[in-house]
Amino acid sequence: MTMPQQPPAPYTVAVVGTGPRGISVLERLAALLRDRGPDRTPVHLYAIDAVEVGAGRVWRSDQDDWFTMNTVVGQVTMFSGEPDGGRIRPGAGPSLGEWLERHAPDRDRRPPLGPDDFASRRDYGRYLRFVHRTIADELPAHVRLFPVRARVTAVRPGPRGDYRLTLDGGARTITAHKVVLATGHPRNDPDTFDRAMLDFTASRPALRYVRGDSAADMDLQEAVRPGTTVAVRGLGLTFYDVLLSLTVGRGGAFVREADGALRYVPGGREPRIVAGSRSGLPIPARGRNQKAPGHVHPARFLTQEAVAAARARRREATGSPLLDFAEDLLPLLHKEVEHVYWTAHVRALSGATAARDFARQHAEKLLADDDTSVLLKEAGLEHLPPLDLRALARPFAGETFSGHAAWQDRLTQVMRQDLAEAARGTLDGPLKAALDALRDLRGIVRSAIDYGGLLPHSHRDAFLRDYAPVNALLSAGPPMIRSEQLIALMEQGVVEIVGPDTRFGADASRGRFVVDSPQVKGSERTAEVLIDARIPTPSLPRDSSPLTRQLLREGLVREFVNVDAGSGTSFATGGIDIVQGSFRVRDRSGHVHPGLYALGIPTEHVRWFTQIGNGRPGVATDFMKVADAVARDLLADLEAGGDAHDAAPASEAAQAVLVGPDRGSHG
C-alpha cells in the first residue's frame, strides 16, 4: 500500500522591522517568488514590527500630518519596477505620487499633490501599508505572509541551523530558517551630556530634558507647558518637526499675505523657543525640484575608474589600498559640484548651447588639472563667488555680533538668500543644482568608503567628523516652506536662534538650562525645557533595545572595526559587521551566520547614508539593489533544495535589480 506523501515543511523567513527597509526585502522576495512559478515547497514569510506592521515606527500612519518628507513624491517608490499596464504587484507598482493621485482612499477629498510636492510622513506610512497589502494579495499560492505585531527581544540559533525568535520577552516564539534585521533608527543609552541633563532634572520636577528621537515620538505636549521657554539643541530636520509641533500643533497657523509674505498667527498656547547648533544655520531648504524622477547627475570626475586609480596609487605607495578621503576623494567631489555650479551659471547667462560648449571645455581643464580662471572670465563669470561647501555650511565662522538684533539681521539675510537660490531650482539654480548633485554622488562615495575603504583615521575624522555633517546640512534639507515658516516665527518673536557655536548646559544656582553663543553678545538665555532635536547616531554598543543587547552579549553580532593592517590603527564604527554582497552578519569570532542578515541603519558606518527610506522610479538605486541582494540570498537555500544553509552569497550579477539604467546608483 502506498503511504500518503507528507507535504514538505515550509521554508520560513522572518523580517524584523517593517519600515521601508523591511518592506523592500519583502517586496523583492514576493517578486522573485512569483517569477519562480509553481513550487511545491511552501514558503512562510513573517513581517514583524513592534509599532505598525507595514509602516514601522518612524513612518507610522497615525502621526500628525505636519511631519513632512524631504523628498518629492515623484522621486519616491517602494516598488522595484514601474507600472507596466498590468496588475499592481511586487515588481510593478506606482510611485508615492502616483498612489496619492490614483489609489489613495481619500484622494478625492484632499488637495492634489504634484510630482514635485512633498507628502507627509503619515501619507508615506499609508503608502507603505498599501505596498505591504499588495505583497500579501499578490503572493503565489504556496507562499503565505504573516503580519506579527510584537517586539522581538531575542534571536538565537536553533538546533537545525535555524533561528528561534523570542517575542515580547518570552510570550511567543517563532522559528525561521532565515532572519533579516531591519530594525531602523535606534534608541541609545544616554551619553555623557544626556546623563548630566537627566541628573540635573532628577531633583527639579519643574524642568524637563527630552532626549533625541523622532519628533513624533517625543513627549512634546506633556513636557512643554504654554508660555515656558524651551531650548532646542540642533537645527536640522528634526528641529523643524519640533517647531511645528509646538506651534501649529498648539493651534497656530501660517497665513499667506497679499504681497506673498508668510505670517504666523499664534494659537495662544505656544512656548517661547530658543534654539541653536554648532553652525548656527538652520538646515537650508531643498531647491525647487526640476528633475524628472530618472534624472541623475552623470559623474565625470568622481567615477569608479577614478576611485580604482586612486586605490592603485595608494597600494603602490603604501602597500595598502585604503584611501584618504581628504586627499583621494574630496578633490574629485569638489570638481563635480564645481562643474555643475559654473555650467548652470553659463546656462542662465548665455543659454543651453553656450553651456554645452562651456561644459566640454571646463571638464577638459578639470580632468587635466588645468587652471580654469581664463575660461571663467571668457564666460563672464569672474565676478561671481566660487563654490565653497565649507563656507556654505559655516557661513558665520569668525564673525561676532554686537547683539541679538544684529545677529538676527545677518541670519535672516542668509536664510532669505538661500530661499531665493532654492526658488531658482535644481537645474536652473547654480547653487541648488550643485548641491543637489551631492545626492546623486552618494552612490559612488559609498562604494569608495564602505566596508573599511578608507584609512581608519580618515574615516573617523575627514569623513564622518568633517565632510558628512557638511553633506547632510547642504543636501538633505526640508521643503522651502519650512524656511519661510521659521522666518515668520522669528519675526513674530516665537522663535529665537541663539547664534553660532551654541552652547547648552545647566546652571544649578538658577535652576535652569542655559543656552548661549560666544559669537553673539548678550545671547545667554535660560529655559525650563531642553529638547535634543538630533536623531540618535547608530551605535551597536549604545543601542538600548533588548534584541541588540542580547545579540551583542551572546556574541551573535559584533561591531565592525575599520583596521589598517599596515599601521595597526583602527576605528570602531558602531555598525553591525556584515558581509559585503550578501549582508549576512558576522558573529563575535568573525564567522558568517548562515541565515542572519542586517541592513539599513543598524549597519551605518559600515555603509554610509543608510537612512534613505525609498527607491526612485526608473533608477537602479542602492536602496533597491540591497533589497534584491538580500532577497536573492534568502532564497538561495530554497533554490538548492531547502537544506543548503551554507549556500554561497548571491552573485554580483544576480544582485542587480533591473528597475532602470544604473546611472550612478543614486542613494
Nearest in space to 628 (alpha carbons), one of 602, 653, 594: 653
Distance of alpha carbon 495 from alpha carbon 373, whole angstroms: 43
pLDDT at residue 3 in the model: 54
Distance of CA 52 to the CA centre of its chain: 20
The answer on pLDDT for 2 being more than 60 is no
Cα–Cα distances in Å, from 175 out to 154, 347, 626? 12, 60, 24
Strand partners for 310: none
The answer on pLDDT for 594 being more than 50 is yes
Residues 375 and 468 grouped into a single domain: yes
**Scanning the structure block, which residue is given the C-alpha cell 507647558?**
225
In the chain, the N- to C-terminal Cα span, in Å, equals 61
Return the amino acid letter for 351.
G
**Cell numbers that stand for 267 in this block:** 494659537
Mean pLDDT of 616-620: 92
Residue 334 domain flag:
yes
Residues 18 and 167 grouped into a single domain: yes
Indicate the DSSP class of residue 559: E
Residues 390 and 502 grouped into a single domain: no
99-108, 408-417, 581-590, range with the lowest pLDDT = 99-108
Nearest in space to 502 (alpha carbons), one of 275, 245, 230, 170: 275
Q: What sign has the CA pseudo-torsion 283, 292, 66, 248?
A: positive
Distance of alpha carbon 275 from alpha carbon 499, whole angstroms: 8
Residue 45 domain flag:
yes
What pLDDT, in 10s, does the model give residues 548-589? 999 999 999 999 999 998 889 999 999 999 999 999 999 999
Mean pLDDT of 338-365: 97
- The domain tally of the chain equals 3
The answer on pLDDT for 378 being more than 90 is yes
Residues 163 and 265 grouped into a single domain: no
Query: What is the DSSP pairing of strand 272-276 with strand 584-586?
Result: unpaired
What pLDDT, in 10s, does the model give residues 123-138? 999 999 999 999 999 9
Q: How many CB atoms lie within 10 A of CB 523?
A: 23
Surface-to-core class of residue 363, CB atoms within 10 Å of its CB (0-12 exposed, 13-18 middle, 19+ buried):
middle
Mean pLDDT, all residues of the chain: 93
Domain that holds residue 513: 192-283+478-532
Residue 651 domain flag:
yes
Residue 623 domain flag:
yes
Q: Residues in the chain, how many?
A: 667
Residue 418 domain flag:
no
Contact between 276 and 497 under an 8 Å Cβ cutoff? The reply is yes
Residues 458 and 543 grouped into a single domain: no
Residue 421 domain flag:
no
Indicate the DSSP class of residue 397: T
pLDDT at residue 655 in the model: 30
Q: Compute and round to an integer the Cα radius of gyration of the chain.
A: 26
Residue 175 domain flag:
yes
Q: In what order do the strands lie in the sheet with 503-507?
A: 503-507, 512-516, 525-527
Mean pLDDT of 219-227: 91
Contact between 588 and 14 under an 8 Å Cβ cutoff? The reply is no
Q: Spell out a b/e string for 275-287, using b for 16 or more CB atoms within 10 Å of the CB, else e.
A: bbbebbbbbbbbb
pLDDT at residue 108 in the model: 84
Mean pLDDT of 466-471: 96
Residues 155 and 229 grouped into a single domain: no
Residues 55 and 171 grouped into a single domain: yes
Residues 466 and 485 grouped into a single domain: no
Residues 324 and 268 grouped into a single domain: no
**Cell numbers that stand for 563 in this block:** 583596521
Mean pLDDT of 318-323: 95
Mean pLDDT of 74-100: 96
Return the amino acid letter for 374.
V
Distance of alpha carbon 135 from alpha carbon 99, whole angstroms: 15
167 φ, ψ (degrees, to nearest 5):
-110, 140
pLDDT at residue 411 in the model: 98
CATH number at 586 reads 3.50.50.60
Between 644 and 513, name the one with better pLDDT: 513
Residue 641 pLDDT grade (very low, low, confident, very high; cuts 50, 70, 90): low
Nearest in space to 150 (alpha carbons), one of 292, 333, 314, 16: 16
**Cell numbers that stand for 226 in this block:** 504654554
**Scanning the structure block, which residue is given the C-alpha cell 497679499?**
258
Residues 311 and 457 grouped into a single domain: yes
40-49, 84-93, 253-262, 646-655, range with the lowest pLDDT = 646-655
Cα–Cα distances in Å, from 186 out to 29, 152, 242, 390, 533? 25, 14, 19, 29, 15
Nearest in space to 44 (alpha carbons), one of 179, 161, 158, 151: 179
**Cell numbers that stand for 457 in this block:** 583615521
DSSP per residue over 513-525, as a string?
EEEE-TTBTT--E
Contact between 347 and 428 under an 8 Å Cβ cutoff? The reply is yes
Residues 27 and 76 grouped into a single domain: yes
Contact between 564 and 322 under an 8 Å Cβ cutoff? The reply is yes
Cβ-Cβ contacts under 8 Å for 280 (sequence gap 6 or more): 235, 396, 411, 497, 498, 499, 500, 501, 502, 517, 519
Residues 579 and 642 grouped into a single domain: yes
Indicate the DSSP class of residue 616: B
Residue 39 pLDDT grade (very low, low, confident, very high; cuts 50, 70, 90): low
